[in-house]
Structure 1
């Protein structure tokens, strides 16, 4: 069983900015240290231009193809599996780095940096990749040169890159009504991530958001194709899996940590949505 490592961005960025950009060949020493399961306190964007690799993101194996983009957000559990041949760029930044410049524009507005995309991965055309790569090269120049106001340039370039990625991950035009629905989902997802241990019911979140439970559920179905209850349950199940595999905790300890007063109910809950018991899932995952 692998115990999870918690990796702080300063160990990767080596600066107080809470931001860094690397060519993958220069990031290799970190990859070798992080080829075990680890949890990020930062966001990471991988732009892979050449060759292939493999990584594990929250129990899902993810192939790294040429002309592909992978986005990992705060809190995800990640492991590099096959990485020494990929060629591209890696951008690392904390939420705080973005917030310093864009106080009224939250990162949660970018769906690929939320739990809505289990593994935000996109295989794109060469032209699309070149558009994003050009921003990365500009970032690299500013980051390496450290000229006047280089940090402000980096804030703006990061925002530009995220907007470009938003076109790739959310290609449909967002009318005003749909944008309002997205805002509600963003806030709902933030609340889930903050309170999933103690709030298990849609009505609890609807009350905080000042909407009716039925309305919240309808918006979730429209935007995410999942019910509000499913979004809450998915987050609880994800954390249960993390605790089972990486924290060496028993099912009863996990039940208590996730706010279940009845251990047997937690077992039934897990089995209903995973078609396996907690112990069965642990044994199957470690065997594979």
Structure 2
């Protein structure tokens, strides 16, 4: 497994080419026995540079996504997107189907519509979808089609896989929208999504609304008005929430000092970072690190 280091000193696992098919952007696998993870992978926080999805038919287990622990349950659909921090707690006896794919696979979609789907953007930082019996029948059917195509090695294989995946991802996005209560799209909503996308790319560099307004070529007042209208939160709150999320990831999963974390998040003064963190969480960074690690352990 290829591992790289991120700016926050958390290992990042790269997508690996499937030796049996040679596919470098997509992989699907059926599991019907104990998952054989390397011992070194347990209790080690890491990120993936690819999308991961799993339909669990039977079995259980436990893992963490960011600061939330999940007990794996049967007849559920699990997913992560690049950069979420994952930690395995125990091996699991599962029956199900696992799909992994890269941003390059999504780029095969010339209309760029797939990357905008809720299940791909994951604006609510979700990880688990509930499935009805009807959902299970549909998902099992489309997964079987994807699995057969993947192993057929036919001409234009990635195009066929993309077509099947479009159906699956749209279906899952409907479930995501229903279960996470995502507001309906509108032109104003598109502006909000663009703003959130810029924050995701530059939260450690820019901490002020005006900086993002400049990136979007609109006034800070105009941006603030529309963000508040569409999300119900002031524009600055979205920046602060993203900074706090990353700070919590680092405090839990890395051994970097508070000063180092502050610097990596774009704070020149560690004392200001401490005040910022406490104001938003009612705990100092050190208090949070101590408390969350006690829960985790």
Provide the TM-score with structure 2 as the length reference: 0.84
My pick for the range that moved more, 31-40 or 163-172, is: 31-40
Is the CA contact 2:34–2:91 (under 8 Å) kept in the aligned structure 1?
no
**CA 1:219–1:195: 2 relative to 1, 3 Å:** same
Q: Residues 272, 168 of structure 1: CA spacing in aligned structure 2 closer, same or farther, 3 A cutoff?
A: same
Aligned to 1:131: 138
Where does residue 290 of structure 2 map in the other structure?
Answer: 283
Q: Where is the helix percentage greater, Structure 1 or Structure 2?
A: 1
2:25 to 6, 11, 18: 18
- Partners of 1:173 and 1:253 lie apart in 2 by 35
CA shift, 1:228, in A, is: 2.5
Q: Which residue number in structure 2 is paired with residue 96 of structure 1? A: 104
Partner of 1:140: 147
Residue equivalent to 1:86: 94
TM (norm. structure 1) is 0.87
Structure 1: how far apart are the matches of 2:225 and 2:74?
A: 38
Residue ranges of structure 2 left out of the alignment (5+ in a row)? 1-8
Q: Does the 8 A contact of 1:65 with 1:123 survive in 2?
A: no
Residues 1:272 and 2:263 are matched in the alignment: no
1:66 Cα deviation after fit:
2.2
CA distance in 2, matches of 1:135, 1:261: 50
- Paired with 2:145 and 2:89, the residues of 1 have a C-alpha distance of 29
1:6 to 12, 25, 28: 12
1:91-170 correspondence runs (5 A) = 91-105=99-113, 107=115, 109-114=116-121, 116-170=123-177
Which position in structure 1 is the counterpart of 2:71? 63
RMSD: 2.6
Measure the CA separation in 2 of the matches of 1:99 and 1:61. Answer: 32
Q: Which runs of 5 or more structure 1 residues have no equivalent in the other structure?
A: none
- Asked whether the equivalents of residues 59 and 92 of structure 2 are also in contact (C-alpha less than 8 Å), the reply is no
C-alpha separation in 1, matches of 2:193 and 2:279: 27
CA distance in 1 between partners of 2:216 and 2:167 (Å)? 30
Deviation at 1:30?
Answer: 4.3
Match of 2:192 among 171, 174, 185: 185
2:210 maps to which residue? 203
Worse-superposed segment, 186-195 or 23-32: 23-32
C-alpha deviation, 1:37, in angstroms: 1.5
Structure 2 vs 1, CA of residues 56 and 225 (structure 1 numbering), >3 Å: closer, same or farther? farther
Segments of 4+ in structure 1 off by > 6 A?
A: 172-175
Contact 1:71 1:113 in 2 (8 A): no
Q: After superposition, what is the alpha-carbon deviation per residue over 1:208-264, rounded to whole angstroms, capped at 9, x for unaligned?
A: 223343443454445545443222112111222222233321111111121112211
Aligned pairs, number? 282
Q: Check the 8 A contact 1:21/1:90 in 2, yes or no.
A: yes
Instruction: Give the structure 1 partner of residue 47 of structure 2.
Output: 39
